[in-house]
Structure 1
Amino acid sequence: MATQSVNVNPDITIFRGFKETRNYTWSPYVNKLEARLRFAGVRYKIGVGSLKAAPRGKVPYIECRDLSATSSSGKGEDSLPKVQLGDSTLIIKTLAEWDVLPDLNRALDPSKRLQDMALIALLENKLSFYQTWERWIQNYYTMRDHVLWPIPYPIRIVVGLLAYRANATMLNGQGTGRFTKEEIEQSTCEIWETISAQLVTSRSSSKGGDDKPFWVLGGEEPTEADACLFGFIVSAWICTAGPKAHDIIKSFPVLLDYAGRIHDRYFPDYEKWAVE
C-alpha cells in the first residue's frame, strides 16, 4: 500500500462537525477524507469545528501546517504557519501536491482513470442529492436534531426550517426535487445494484483472500474511488435519517463486505457498525 512520503509533519486536524471521536459520521465526505488519509498511513487529529468556522461553509475541513511555504521560508516545521483547507476533494488534491498523500491513480491507464472519475461523479454528483433528499425532506426531524446538535432547541427549530428550505430549493433547482419518491428510490437502488455487481467481480478476482480488502476497480491497491465509495457506504448504513438507503445497502451484502474489510484493516480503533 502507498505510504506517507512527506518529510515534514503536516500536523493535520480534521474538523468533522460532531463531537464523537471513535466512530464514523453521517457525512460520506468526512468518512472519505479519513479513509484517504489512512490508506496513506497519515496520522491526524479530530476536532469538532463548525460550519461558521469552515473556510467553505461545510464539513469536513482541516487545519494543518502550510507546506507550500517550506521551500521558500527556510524555517523548521514548527515555525510553519497553520492554514485551513475546505472541501474533501480539494483537501486531498492539495495534500497530494504537498507530497503528504500519494497519487493513488498514478498507475491507472486512461480507461481505468475515467472509470474512477465516473464512479466518484456518480456518488458525489448524483447519489449525494438522492441522499440529501431522503434525509432532509423525508426524515427532516431526525436529520435536523442530529446535524444541528450544538444549537439550543428553540433556536434549532428556526435554523432547521432555514436548512430545510435551503435544501428543498437546491434540490428543486438541481432536479432531484422534481422526481417522485418512487423514482428517486428506484434510481438510488439502480446505482447501488450496479456498484454491487462491480464489487462482486472485483472480489472474485482479488488475490488478497477472504479477509483482506479488495478494491472497486479490481486492482491490487486502492484508487481515489475507493475512499469515496467507502465513505458513502458507511454513511448510508449508519444514518438513521436514511432508512431506505440503509435497507438498500442491506440488500446487497457485498457492499458491507467491501466496507467491512476496509474498516478491519484501516479503522481498527473505530466502533464497527452492526450487521443485521
Structure 2
Amino acid sequence: MIILYGHIPAWGLPDMSPYVTKIDCYMRMVDLDHELVPQPGGDLTKTPKGKLPVIDDDGTIVADSSFILEYLKEKYGDPLDGHLSDQERAIAFSFWRMMDESFYWYLIQMRYRRDEDFALYDPFWSIFFSSVPPEERAEPVRAFRENILNEFFYSGRGRHSTEDVEHMAFREYDAVAMQLGDKPFMMGDTPTSVDASFYSFLLHAMRVPFESPIKDYGNSIPTLVDYLDRIYNRYYPELAEEKSNVV
C-alpha cells in the first residue's frame, strides 16, 4: 500500500492542501491502493522538499505532486492518458500548470488576505502548534500568515488589488469552463489525470466556507458545479453517502 502524507482534512475537504487532494483523487481514479495519512503539526523541514504531499511507496519516497504523478505513471502505467494525442497532452499539461502555478494563488487570497477568512484556521492551531503552549501560539500563527502573504506578494498576485485578483480568477474559470464545454470530463468522455488537478483546485475554491467573489463566480457556472458533483460522486462515494445521510 502506498502511503500518501498530507496535512489534515478540513472544511469538508479530504485535505486542506489542494496538492494533497489532487494526488488522492488521482490514485482513486486509477484505483491505486493507498492511505492518506495526516501529518498534523509535522515538521516539514524533515520532508525532502519542505512541503507536502509526499508518498512512501514501499520505501521509495517521492515529494511534490508533479513528481509524484510522474513516478506513479512510470511505475504503475498510465491508464488514464494513454489515448491522448500529443496535442491533447500538451493542452492537458498547460492546464495542469495553470491550476498548479496560477489558480493556486486565488485560493491564497481567499484564505489569507482578510482577517475574517484567516480566522477559519483558528480551530486547527491547537493541532498544528500542539507543542506550543496556547498562550504562546499567537506569534507562530502571525509568522505563518506573514510568510504565506509574502509568497503571495512576490508571486506577483499579491501586488494587485483584491478586485484585480478576483478578475484574474474569473478569466481562468472561463478558460476552464470553455475547455470543459459540454463534455463530462476535461479532455473528453473519460477522465484523464488532468481531471484530478481541475477537480482539486475547483473543489478548494468552490466548496469551502471562505466567502468570496472567487467562490461565487465558480458556482455561477453550472457546468463546473456539475463537473465537481460528477467526480465527487464517482470517486468519493463514501463521502457522498455520508453527505446524503446528513441531508
Name the counterpart of 1:93: 70
Residues 137 and 146 of structure 1: CA distance in aligned 2, closer, same or farther (over 3 Å): farther
Residues 106 and 155 of structure 1: CA distance in aligned 2, closer, same or farther (over 3 Å): farther
Q: Structure 1 length as normaliser, TM-score?
A: 0.76
Which of 197, 211, 225 is matched with 1:228 structurally? 197
Aligned length: 234
Structure 1 position 133 matched with structure 2 position 109: yes
| CA positional deviation for 1:13 | 1.5
8 Å contact kept, 1:215–1:222: yes
Q: Which runs of 5+ in 2 are unaligned?
A: none
Matches within 5 A, 1:1-276: 11-18=1-8, 24-49=14-39, 50-52=42-44, 53-65=46-58, 82-99=59-76, 101-102=77-78, 104-138=80-114, 139-143=117-121, 145-146=123-124, 149-152=127-130, 153-202=134-183, 214-218=184-188, 220-241=189-210, 243-271=212-240
| CA positional deviation for 1:201 | 3.0
- Residues in 2 aligned to 1:87 and 1:178: alpha-carbon distance in whole angstroms: 26
- Residues in 2 aligned to 1:148 and 1:217: alpha-carbon distance in whole angstroms: 42
Query: CA offsets, 1:142-194, max 9 Å, x none?
Result: 24654773324434322221122212221221101111111001111121123
Larger % of helix: which?
Answer: 2
Residues 44 and 249 of structure 1: CA distance in aligned 2, closer, same or farther (over 3 Å): same
Aligned residue type for 1:255: L
8 Å contact kept, 1:236–1:242: no
8 Å contact kept, 1:17–1:51: no
For CA contacts below 8 A with separation 6 or more, give which structure has more relative contact order.
1
- Residues in 2 aligned to 1:28 and 1:60: alpha-carbon distance in whole angstroms: 10
| CA positional deviation for 1:258 | 0.7
| CA positional deviation for 1:221 | 2.4
User: What is the Cα-based RMSD across aligned positions, in Å?
Assistant: 2.4
Q: Which moved more, 1:154-163 or 1:170-179?
A: 154-163
Give SS of 1:269's match.
helix
Q: Structure 2 length as normaliser, TM-score?
A: 0.84
- Residues in 2 aligned to 1:171 and 1:26: alpha-carbon distance in whole angstroms: 18
Q: Highest Rg: 1 or 2?
A: 1
8 Å contact kept, 2:24–2:36: no
8 Å contact kept, 1:31–1:234: no
